[in-house]
Amino acid sequence: MIGVTHYVALSFVLFAIGVTGVLIRRNLLTVLMSIELILNAANLNLIAFSRHLGDLNGQLFAVFVITLAAGEAAIGLAIIISMYRLKGSVNLDDAAELRG
Partner 1 sequence: MTAVFFWLFAAVVVLGAVGVVAMRQPVHSALFLLLSFLGVAALFVMARAEFVGAVQVLVYAGGIMVLFLFTIMLVNVRRTAGEPFLHTQAGAGLVAGFVFLAIIGGTVVASYRVRALSDLGEPASPARLASTSITRTVTEVVDGKKVSTTVTEDVTGNSQAVAWGLYRDYLLPFEVASVFLLVAMIGAVVLGKRTMERVD
Least distance to partner 1 from the beta carbon of 30, Å?
A: 5
Which residue, 21 or 100, has its beta carbon nearer to partner 1? 21
Residue 33 as a binder of partner 1 (CB under 8 A): the answer is yes
DSSP assigned state of 24:
H
| Residue 27 β-bridge partners | 91
User: Distance from first CA to last CA of the chain, Å, rounded?
Assistant: 54
Residue 85 as a binder of partner 1 (CB under 8 A): the answer is yes
Which residue, 26 or 100, has its beta carbon nearer to partner 1? 26
Judged by DSSP in three states, 74 sits in helix
